[in-house]
Structure 1
Amino acid sequence: MAIPLETFFLDPSTEGTLQARIQQMVAQGILDGRFRRGEKLPSSRKMAQHLGVSRITVTLAYTELVADDYLSSRGRSGYFVSENAPEPPAFPARRSNRSSVDWSRAIGQRFAPVLGMDKPADWADYRYPFNYGQADPTLFDGANWRMCALQALGKRDFSSLTADYFDGDDPQLVEFIARQTLPRRGISAGPDEILVTMGAQNALWLTAQILLTQRRIAAIENPCYPALRSILLQSRCQLATVDVDEDGLVPAHLPEGTDVVFTTPSHQCPTAATMPITRRHELLDKAESEDFLIVEDDYEFEMAFLKPPSPSLKSLDKNGRVIYVGSFSKSLFPGLRLGYLVGPAQFIREARALRAAVFRHAPGHTQRTVSYFLSLGHYDALVRRMSRAYHDRRRVLDSALEKHGITVAGKGAYGGSSVWVKAPKPVDTVQLARRLREDGVLIEPGSPFFSGDEPPRNYFRLAYSSIPAERIEKGVSFIGKAIESELGNS
Structure 2
Amino acid sequence: MAISADSFFWDPTAQGTLQAQIRQMIAEGILSGRFRVGEKLPSSRKLASHLGVSRITITLAYTELLADDYIASKGRSGYYVSDDAPQPPNFKATRTAADTVDWSRALGQRFSGGTPFIKPKDWRDYTYPFIYGQADETLFDSANWRLCALQALGKKDFSSLTTDYYDEDDPKLIEFIARHTLPRRGIIAQPDEILVTMGAQNALWMAAQILLTQRRTAAIEDPCYPSLRDILTQSRCHLAPIPVDRDGLPSEELPPDTDVVFTTPSHQCPTTATMPLSRRQALLARAREDDFLIVEDDYEFEMSFLKSPSPALKSLDQDGRVIYIGSFSKSLFPGLRLGYLVGPKPFIDEARALRSSVLRHPPGHIQRTAAYFLSLGHYDALIRRMGKAYFERRQVMEAALNQHGLDIAGQGVYGGSSFWMRTAPDVDTQTLAERLRSKGVLIEPGAPFFGAETPPKNYYRLAYSSIPASKIEAGVNLLAKTLNSPF
Name the TM-score, length of structure 1 as normaliser: 0.81
Correspondence for 2:366: 366
Correspondence for 1:211: 211
Structure 1 runs of 4+ with >4 Å offset: 33-38, 75-79, 93-97
In structure 1, what is the Cα distance between the partners aligned to 2:270 and 2:225? Answer: 7
Change beyond 3 A, Cα 1:389–1:113? farther
Correspondence for 2:36: 41
Q: What SS class does the counterpart of residue 206 from structure 1 fall into?
A: helix
Correspondence for 2:343: 343
Q: What SS class does the counterpart of residue 167 from structure 2 fall into?
A: coil
Displacement of 1:116: 1.3
In structure 2, what is the Cα distance between the partners aligned to 1:338 and 1:266? Answer: 19
Correspondence for 2:328: 328
Is contact 1:2–1:41 with CA below 8 Å preserved after alignment? no
Correspondence for 2:430: 430
Q: How does 1:221-300 map to 2 (within 5 A)?
A: 221-300=221-300
In structure 2, what is the Cα distance between the partners aligned to 1:119 and 1:177? Answer: 30
The higher radius of gyration belongs to 1
In structure 2, what is the Cα distance between the partners aligned to 1:278 and 1:231? Answer: 30
1:60-113 Cα distance to aligned partner (Å, 9 max, x none) = xxxxxxxxxxxxxxx99999xxxxxxxxxxxxx997773111111111111135
Q: What SS class does the counterpart of residue 100 from structure 1 fall into?
A: coil
- Length, aligned pairs only: 416
Correspondence for 2:316: 316
1:297-322 Cα distance to aligned partner (Å, 9 max, x none) = 00210111111111110000010000
Q: What SS class does the counterpart of residue 131 from structure 1 fall into?
A: coil
Correspondence for 2:153: 153
Q: What SS class does the counterpart of residue 305 from structure 1 fall into?
A: coil
Correspondence for 1:383: 383
Change beyond 3 A, Cα 1:113–1:332? farther
Letter in 2 for 1:466: S
Percent of residue pairs bearing the same amino acid type: 67
Q: How does 1:443-458 map to 2 (within 5 A)?
A: 443-458=443-458
Correspondence for 1:64: none
In structure 2, what is the Cα distance between the partners aligned to 1:347 and 1:37? Answer: 48
Residues 166-175 or 35-44, more deviating: 35-44
Change beyond 3 A, Cα 1:178–1:101? same
In structure 2, what is the Cα distance between the partners aligned to 1:464 and 1:289? Answer: 41
- Structure 1 stretches of 5 or more lacking a match? 4-32, 45-74, 80-92
Displacement of 1:37: 10
Change beyond 3 A, Cα 1:34–1:154? closer
Name the TM-score, length of structure 2 as normaliser: 0.82
Is contact 2:268–2:299 with CA below 8 Å preserved after alignment? no
Is contact 1:131–1:462 with CA below 8 Å preserved after alignment? yes
Is contact 1:203–1:340 with CA below 8 Å preserved after alignment? yes
In structure 1, what is the Cα distance between the partners aligned to 2:379 and 2:96? Answer: 52
Change beyond 3 A, Cα 1:37–1:165? closer
Residues 113-122 or 176-185, more deviating: 113-122
Correspondence for 1:462: 462
Q: How does 1:24-63 map to 2 (within 5 A)?
A: 39-42=34-37
- Structure 2 stretches of 5 or more lacking a match? 4-27, 40-76, 82-92
In structure 2, what is the Cα distance between the partners aligned to 1:454 and 1:343? Answer: 36
Is contact 2:213–2:237 with CA below 8 Å preserved after alignment? yes
Correspondence for 1:123: 123
In structure 1, what is the Cα distance between the partners aligned to 2:111 and 2:79? Answer: 53
In structure 1, what is the Cα distance between the partners aligned to 2:318 and 2:251? Answer: 18
Correspondence for 1:190: 190
Displacement of 1:368: 0.3
Change beyond 3 A, Cα 1:36–1:466? same
Change beyond 3 A, Cα 1:368–1:424? same
Q: What SS class does the counterpart of residue 360 from structure 1 fall into?
A: coil
Correspondence for 2:307: 307
In structure 2, what is the Cα distance between the partners aligned to 1:258 and 1:266? Answer: 22
Correspondence for 1:7: none
Correspondence for 1:477: 477
Q: What SS class does the counterpart of residue 340 from structure 2 fall into?
A: strand
In structure 1, what is the Cα distance between the partners aligned to 2:336 and 2:78? Answer: 49
1:177-221 Cα distance to aligned partner (Å, 9 max, x none) = 000000000000000100000000000000000000000000000
Displacement of 1:332: 0.3
In structure 2, what is the Cα distance between the partners aligned to 1:326 and 1:450? Answer: 23
Correspondence for 1:90: none
Is contact 2:29–2:35 with CA below 8 Å preserved after alignment? no
Correspondence for 1:52: none
Is contact 2:419–2:463 with CA below 8 Å preserved after alignment? yes
Displacement of 1:256: 1.3
Correspondence for 1:56: none
In structure 1, what is the Cα distance between the partners aligned to 2:180 and 2:431? Answer: 45
In structure 2, what is the Cα distance between the partners aligned to 1:2 and 1:345? Answer: 64
Q: What SS class does the counterpart of residue 196 from structure 1 fall into?
A: strand
Correspondence for 1:392: 392
Is contact 1:41–1:78 with CA below 8 Å preserved after alignment? no
Displacement of 1:156: 0.5
